[in-house]
Amino acid sequence: MKPRPEGLFSFRPVGRVRSPFKRPEDIPPPAFAPPGFFDRARGELRVFKKYEPALKDTEGFSHLIVIFVFHQASGSKLQAVPPGQTERRGIFATRSPHRPNPIGLTVVRVLGRRGPVIRVSGLDLVDGTPILDIKPLTERDRPARVRTGWIRT
C-alpha cells in the first residue's frame, strides 16, 4: 500500500451525535461548568447502519474516545485566548474548535448499546456533530501522571 501524498486525505462520517446541546454556546467551557455538569450530560452516538457491525464489543468498555468534526467552527487560527484567560495560547495547546483541521476528540462513558446506538454520558458535543471514528479507552491511554501545562486544574 502506497502512502498518500500530503493533503490528499478525505474522511466520511460514520455517524452523528444526538445531544441536548443545540448550539456551541449551550456547552460551558469546562473551567466554568457547574460541578458534575458533564457527568449529567447524556446523549447518543448514532452510527450509520452500514457501520453497525463495527460496534461489536464496544459495550464491554467503560469509556470510548470519539473523534469528530467541529462542523460549526468557522475559520482557523494559530493562536487563541481560551475562555476566562487573557493570554494568547498556541492553538495546539488549547481545545479550541478553530483549528487548521477542525478535528476534535472527547471521551464519553458508555451507558449501554442497542443496535447502532450507544447511549453515553460525559457528552460535550452539539447535536448533529459528525463522528469520524470511535475507539476504546484503555489503560494505556491513561498515564499515571499528566502535566497540564498552562491549565490549572
Phi, psi torsion values for 119, nearest 5 degrees? -80, 135
Q: Domain span at residue 30?
A: 15-138
Residue type, 62: S
Region 57-85: mean pLDDT is: 91
Residue 60: inside a domain: yes
* Locus of grid cell 482557523: 76
For residue 148, the model assigns a pLDDT of: 62
Residue 62: inside a domain: yes
Residue type, 133: D
Q: Express each pLDDT in 101-132 by its tens digit.
A: 999 999 999 999 999 999 999 999 999 999 99
Q: Are 12 and 51 in contact (CB under 8 A)?
A: no
Q: How many helices (H) and strands (E) does the chain have?
A: 1, 8
Its pTM stands at: 0.87
Domain of residue 99, CATH code: 2.40.30.70
Q: What is the CA radius of gyration of the chain?
A: 16
Residue 34: inside a domain: yes
- Give me the number of domains the chain comprises: 1
Q: Express each pLDDT in 38-57 by its tens digit.
A: 888 999 999 999 999 999 99
Residue 2: inside a domain: no
